């Protein structure tokens, strides 16, 4: 009895939640579809056309390989920036002199627009992949470095002292204290940088690549195919959503220790 | 007994220890937290370090623990410099802090196992020891609870279990019951004192409460600012109530001075 009541109570809540998530997208789709009836298709193509293009990309291995190439570039650039940023942040957290020396340089890098890095990469490097890897790494590096640095500095001194009182080796200190303490900030950094990277990679591919989603967008622009442009854009949106979901699942598992307050902020 | 002889025989020995903070060139810019402290603590002794807030008790505690280096003088724990020979004392010192300092991402049993992991103890063996200490401290059934699900008293019990689990011969305690309500604090204090005596530990117990110092210590050392010993007294088992009252009055006078 109690179980059936709980089930009856849970269903409307889940349905409401789904409706809340879907409503803005449905409204946006409806507005777009109405616009498609009133404007030429090269401005506002029908959603059916967009859907057909999207499925065509999924169905064709040669087209989907372009999506995978872009995904690979995003992940390679982010992993590179993360590893380099973590190494720099660790040294900055450990040595105040290096921190004072490197912080202004990183701030300077943060002010350089992504498009400038694209130009620099084209001048400095031969070949598409090194260029895009360089652009992705340089644009994400300052953010990863500062986020990991803040995470290291934000660790509870009380907890660090407590673990130190057991006289751990460096490896054990990292495993039992540092990694769990900074993981929330690292995952947040990945979430933020993932969105940024998906925008930067398109710019990099538009200018300096002969394949990938950015290159395909350029092709759609040259033939004025708005449905195709939207379909290729959606591939990147799907990728970001899938990655965000994976990170959310990691967070749900890794942070299961957190207390859940009944009264939210 | 000379200081050198003390150093050889004592479990913990501080000789002319001073500690100051700050980067100034002259004395006025320095905060002198400890000033020429001499103290020897024998094996199996349970010493209550008593003093008012800000008198340098915690700085002394951190130097014994090896978390701070003295600015002057020598600190020896089992003959080792706890700061310079930090790793040599692994497994020999356990600490109970003022607040429980449990790792929030570990369960109660995971927190108790922490020190055992540092000693490379095989996991099944460590789990058995952690389990037995949790049971001993009345936390059976809460092994898999995360710290946020435990009350303040239960959390402090976990931190005591964590300290005892490593079977370190020296226990350092920094006002571990001061954040608890009176009844819980009193009960834990009694349990703690019994555990220390049963397990024949050398214990240094920092407190600002005269009652706590008299209840727990075999010896009470009263410190005045900046961490100098103003009164050092051993409490005999057969002391009369008049003798205890006289000691209490003397401590009150020293602290009031």
**How far is A158 from B39, CA to CA, in rounded Å?**
27
Task: Give the per-residue SS3 of chain A.
Answer: CHHHHHHHHHHHHHHHHHHHHHHHHHHHHHHHHHHHHHCCCCCCCCHHHHHHHHHHHHHCHHHHHHHHHHHHHHHHHHHHHHHHHHHHHHHHHHCHHHHHHHHHHHHHHHCCCHHHHHHHHHHHCCCHHHHHHHHHHHHHHHHHHHHHHHHHHCCCHHHHHHHHCCCCCHHHHHHHHHHHHHHHHHHHHHHHHHHHHHHHHHHHHHHHCCCCHHHHHHHHHHCCCHHHHHHHHHHHHHHHHHHHHHHHHHHHHHCCCCCCCCCCC
Query: How far, in Å, CA of A57 to CA of A217, rounded?
Result: 13
- The pLDDT of residue B28 is above 80: no
pLDDT at A11: 64
Let me know if residue B125 belongs to a domain. Answer: yes
CB contact under 8 A, B66 and A167: yes
For B98, name the nearest residue in chain A, comparing CA atoms only. A158
Q: Please tell me which residue, B241 or A155, carries the higher pLDDT value.
A: A155
User: A168–B118: do the CB atoms touch at under 8 Å?
Assistant: yes
Residue of chain A whose alpha carbon sits nearest to that of B107: A257
Q: How many CB atoms lie within 10 A of CB B91?
A: 17
Nearest residue in B to A176, CA atom: B114
pLDDT, position B5 = 46
**Predicted confidence band at B214 (pLDDT cuts at 50, 70, 90)?**
confident
- Residues of B with Cβ-Cβ distance to A259 under 8 angstroms: 146, 148-149
Which pairing describes strands B202-207 and B46-51: parallel, antiparallel, or unpaired? parallel
Contact of B146 with chain A, judged by CB distance below 8 Å, is answered with yes
CB B68 within 8 A of CB B83: yes
Strand order in the sheet with B31-41: B31-41, B12-21, B72-77
Contact A257 B166 (CB under 8 A): no
pLDDT at A4 over 80: no
User: What is the rounded radius of gyration, in angstroms, for the C-alpha atoms of chain B?
Assistant: 19
pLDDT at B29 over 70: no
Cβ-based contacts of A187 with chain B (< 8 Å): none
Mean pLDDT over B217-244 rounds to 82
Chain B, window 24-53: residues with a beta carbon less than 8 angstroms from a chain A beta carbon: none
Residues of B in contact with A176 (CB under 8 A): 103, 114, 117
Query: In chain B, positions 74-113, which contact chain A (CB-CB < 8 Å)?
Result: 86-87, 89-91, 93-95, 97, 99, 101, 103-107
Using the Cβ of B23 and the Cβ atoms of chain A, whether some distance falls under 8 Å is answered with no
- Residue at B127 is within a domain: yes
* % of residues, chain A, pLDDT over 70: 94
pLDDT bin (cut points 50, 70, 90) of residue B188 is: confident
Where do we find the tokens 């057909």? A52
* Contact criterion met (CB below 8 Å) for B99 and B179: yes
| Residues in a beta bridge with B229 | B223
Residues on chain A touching B103 (C-beta within 8 angstroms): 159, 163, 176-177, 180
Structure confidence at residue A22 (pLDDT): 87
Q: Do A158 and B104 touch (CB under 8 A)?
A: no
Specify if B129 maps to a domain. Answer: yes
pLDDT attached to residue A142 = 93
Tell if the CB–CB gap between B87 and A259 is shorter than 8 Å. no
User: What confidence tens digit (pLDDT) does each residue in A37-64 have?
Assistant: 999 888 999 999 999 999 999 999 999 9
Q: Are the Cβ atoms of A259 and B118 closer than 8 angstroms? A: no
> Which structural domain range is residue B152 located in?
102-167
> What would the mean pLDDT of B178-198 be, rounded to a whole number?
82
Smallest Cα distance from B100 to chain A, Å? 9
| pLDDT over threshold 70, residue B6 | no
Contacts of A258 in chain B (CB under 8 A): 104, 148
Q: Which residues of chain B have a CB within 8 Å of the CB of A168? A: 118
Length of chain A, please?
A: 265
Cβ–Cβ below 8 Å for B118 and A164: no
Cα-only R_g, chain A? 23
Residue A7 has pLDDT above 60, yes or no: no
Residue B140 in any domain: the answer is yes
pLDDT at residue B27 greater than cutoff 70: no
Share of chain B above pLDDT 70, in %: 93
**B58 interfacial to chain A (CB closer than 8 Å):** no
For residue B3, pLDDT beyond 70: no
Chain A interface disruption, residue of B83, B93, B105, most A CBs within 10 A? B105
What is the pLDDT averaged over residues B22-32? 67
Q: Which residues of B touch A185 (CB under 8 A)?
A: none
Bridge partners for B39 per DSSP: B14
Does residue B11 sit within a domain? Answer: no
Q: What is the pLDDT of residue B90?
A: 92
What's the rounded mean pLDDT across residues B151-176?
91
The 3-class SS string of chain B reads CCHHHHHHHCCEEEEEEEEEECCCCCHHHCEEEEEEEEEEECCCCEEEEEECCCCCHHHHHHHHHCCCCCCEEEEEECCECCCCCHHHHCCCEEEECCCCCCCCCCCHHHHHHHHHHHCCCCHHHHHHHHHHHHHHCCCCCCCCCCHHHCCHHHHHHHHHHHHHHCCCCEEEEECCCCCCCHHHHHHHHHHHHHHHHHCCCEEEEEECCHHHHHHHCCEEEEEECCCEEEEEEECCCCCCHHHHHHHHHHHHHHHHC
pLDDT of residue B22: 76
**CA separation for the pair A225, A222 (Å, rounded):** 8
The pLDDT value given to residue A3: 47
Would you say residue B200 has pLDDT above 70? yes
Residue A253 touches partner B, C-beta closer than 8 Å: no
pLDDT at B123 (0 to 100) = 93
| B227 within some domain | no
Q: Among A87-91, A222-226, B25-29, whose mean pLDDT is lowest? A: B25-29
Measured from the Cβ of residue A85, the count of other Cβ atoms closer than 10 Å reads 25
Distance (Å) from the alpha carbon of B148 to chain A's nearest alpha carbon: 6
Structure tokens at A260: 């859940």
Tokens representing B190 are 């009694």
Position A264 confidence tier, pLDDT thresholds 50, 70, 90? low
As for the ipTM of the complex, it is: 0.87
Query: Chains A and B: how many Cβ contacts under 8 Å?
Result: 57
Model pLDDT for residues A108-125, shown as the tens digit of each residue: 998 999 889 989 998 999
Number of domains in chain B: 1
Chain B interface test: which of A251, A257, A260, A262 (most B C-beta within 10 Å): A257
Q: Is A15 on the interface with B (CB under 8 A)?
A: no
Sheet of strand B228-234, all strands in order from the earlier edge strand to the far edge: B93-96, B170-174, B202-207, B46-51, B219-224, B228-234
Average pLDDT over residues B89-99: 91
């Amino acid at each position: 009895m109690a179980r059936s009541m709980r089930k009856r109570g849970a269903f409307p809540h889940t349905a409401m939640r789904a409706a809340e998530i879907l409503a803005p997208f449905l409204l946006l789709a409806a507005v777009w579809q109405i616009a498609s009836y009133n404007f030429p298709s090269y401005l506002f193509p029908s959603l059916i056309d967009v859907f057909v293009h999207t499925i065509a990309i999924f169905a064709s291995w040669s087209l989907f390989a372009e999506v995978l190439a872009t995904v690979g570039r995003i992940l390679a650039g982010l992993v590179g920036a993360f590893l380099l940023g973590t190494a720099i942040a660790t040294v900055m957290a450990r040595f105040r002199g290096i921190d004072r020396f490197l912080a202004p340089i990183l701030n300077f890098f943060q002010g350089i627009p992504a498009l400038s890095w694209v130009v620099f990469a084209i001048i400095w490097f031969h070949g598409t992949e090194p260029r895009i890897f360089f652009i992705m790494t340089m644009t994400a590096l300052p953010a990863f470095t500062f986020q990991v640095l803040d995470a290291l500095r934000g660790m509870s001194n009380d907890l660090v002292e407590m673990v130190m009182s057991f006289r751990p080796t460096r490896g054990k200190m990292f495993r039992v204290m540092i990694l769990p303490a900074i993981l929330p900030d690292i995952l947040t950094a990945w979430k933020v940088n993932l969105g940024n990277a998906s925008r930067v990679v398109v710019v990099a591919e538009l200018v300096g690549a002969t394949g990938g989603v950015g290159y395909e967008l350029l092709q759609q622009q040259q033939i004025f195919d708005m449905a195709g442009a939207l379909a290729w854009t959606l591939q990147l949106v799907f990728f970001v959503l899938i990655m965000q979901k994976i990170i959310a699942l990691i967070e749900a598992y890794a942070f299961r220790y957190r207390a859940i307050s009944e009264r939210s902020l | 007994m000379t200081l050198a002889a003390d150093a050889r025989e004592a479990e913990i020995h501080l000789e002319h220890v001073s500690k100051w903070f700050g980067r100034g060139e002259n004395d006025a810019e320095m905060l002198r937290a400890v000033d020429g402290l001499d103290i020897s603590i024998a094996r199996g002794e349970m010493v209550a370090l008593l003093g008012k807030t800000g008198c340098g008790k915690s700085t002394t505690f951190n130097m014994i623990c090896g978390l701070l280096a003295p600015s002057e003088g020598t600190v020896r724990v089992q003959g080792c410099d706890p700061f310079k020979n930090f790793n040599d004392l692994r497994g020999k010192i356990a600490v109970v802090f003022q607040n429980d300092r449990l790792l929030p991402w570990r369960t109660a049993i995971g927190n108790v196992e922490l020190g055992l992991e540092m000693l490379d103890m095989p996991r099944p063996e460590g789990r058995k020891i952690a389990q037995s200490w949790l049971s001993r401290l009345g936390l059976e059934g809460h092994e898999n609870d995360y710290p946020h699900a435990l009350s303040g008293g239960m959390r402090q019990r976990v931190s005591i279990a964590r300290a005892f689990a490593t079977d370190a011969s020296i226990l350092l305690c920094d006002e571990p019951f001061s954040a608890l309500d009176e009844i819980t604090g009193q009960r834990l204090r009694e349990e703690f004192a019994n555990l220390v005596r049963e397990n024949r530990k050398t214990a240094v117990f920092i407190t600002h409460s005269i009652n706590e110092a008299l209840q727990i210590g075999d010896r009470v050392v009263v410190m005045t600012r900046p961490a100098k010993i103003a009164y050092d007294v051993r409490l005999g088992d057969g002391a009369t109530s008049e003798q205890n009252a006289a000691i209490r009055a003397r401590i009150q006078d020293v602290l009031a001075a």
